Amino acid sequence: MTAPFKSPVPDLFVAEDVTFFSGVHRLRGQVFRPGTRPKAVAVLHGATGVPARFYEAFARWLAQEKGIACLTYDYRDFGASLDQPLGASEAKISDWGVHDQQAARDFVANAFPVTPLWVIGHSLGGSCLPFQHNLDQIDRVITVASGLVHVRDHPWPYQALARFFWFGPVPLITWVMGYMPGKALRIGANIPAGVYWQWRRWCTRRDFFSPDFGGDLPFPDWAGVTARVKFVAISDDELTPPKTIWKAMQCYPSAAKTQITVTPSDAGVETLGHLNVFTEKARAAWEMIVA
């Protein structure tokens, strides 16, 4: 479903609510547009358990300062796209990373058919592109804090928190509740149980998502992305350390690859971690990401 867009008005910033479908699932988001014809259009795929509204400041900056339109959206059964009790959701993280991301990219490609298409992926948002189709439509890819992470890749003492999340009481609580109650546990947002279980399996196996090839995941087209791909690591990211970002580069053998590491000093802040690079206070680092 492609929503109609208003005619551009010079010097007027526009943010529009949009709705599109991933199969039978209604996804909701916003398109941030410059007032004039955009130089490019980006679909911003978010991290697991991070609502689309978190990326609003960055998307506005893209539109206002860089002349790039940007779609932000929530995956099925999450955030603004939650249409049923969370315990009833059958969503898996592969549904988010493959089908919903594909639907979002198709929506943008249809809405801006003659505009260069960018993909910006945060964490999960940059991990599943090789499982999607029409990869030749993409003109540029930027992944931010998006790596292939095993629980042993985390530094200590953060690794203790990760083990608590995967092997402590959280699995039992998720099984009892029928969803992962991140809010009640003060470890993030509530997410569907199927997302948690598959995410847990990927992050506790050395072969990450490869056992799901041909099942929950299509067989990947490793050589399908031929656009420029920029890999952005965050120096103090304990959730997705830089070494896991560079490991993910092997998934793009045919792309023209570049890599950078953003530090807190680049952003003018004391810490960045996994999330804060997309917050307004880290605005000074955004030029590095999209350059």
The string of pLDDT tens digits covering residues 154-195 is: 999 999 999 999 999 999 999 999 999 999 999 999 999 999
Q: Is 162 part of any domain?
A: no
Domain tally for the chain?
1
The CATH code of the domain that includes 79 is: 3.40.50.1820
Per the domain annotation, does 134 fall within a domain? yes
Q: Does 48 map to a domain?
A: yes
The beta-strand segments (E) located in the chain are: 14-22, 25-33, 40-45, 68-73, 117-122, 140-144, 179-180, 191-192, 228-234, 256-262
First to last CA, the chain: 32
- Could you tell me if residue 90 is inside a domain? yes
Give the domain extent around 275. 14-150+220-290
Give domain status of residue 270, yes or no.
Answer: yes
The three-class DSSP label of residue 90 is coil
The whole model's pTM is what?
0.94
pLDDT digits (tens, 9 = 90+) for 63-122: 999 999 999 999 999 999 999 999 999 999 999 999 999 999 999 999 999 999 999 999
In 3D space, the residue among 223, 235, 48 whose CA is nearest the CA of residue 127 turns out to be 48
- Note whether residue 191 is domain-resident: no
Question: Residue 227 falls within a domain, yes or no?
Answer: yes
DSSP state of 269: S
Taking only the tens place, the pLDDT of each residue in 242-291 is 999 999 999 999 999 999 999 999 999 999 999 999 999 999 999 999 99
- Say if 131 falls within a structural domain: yes
Nearest CA among 163, 159, 170 for reference residue 196? 170
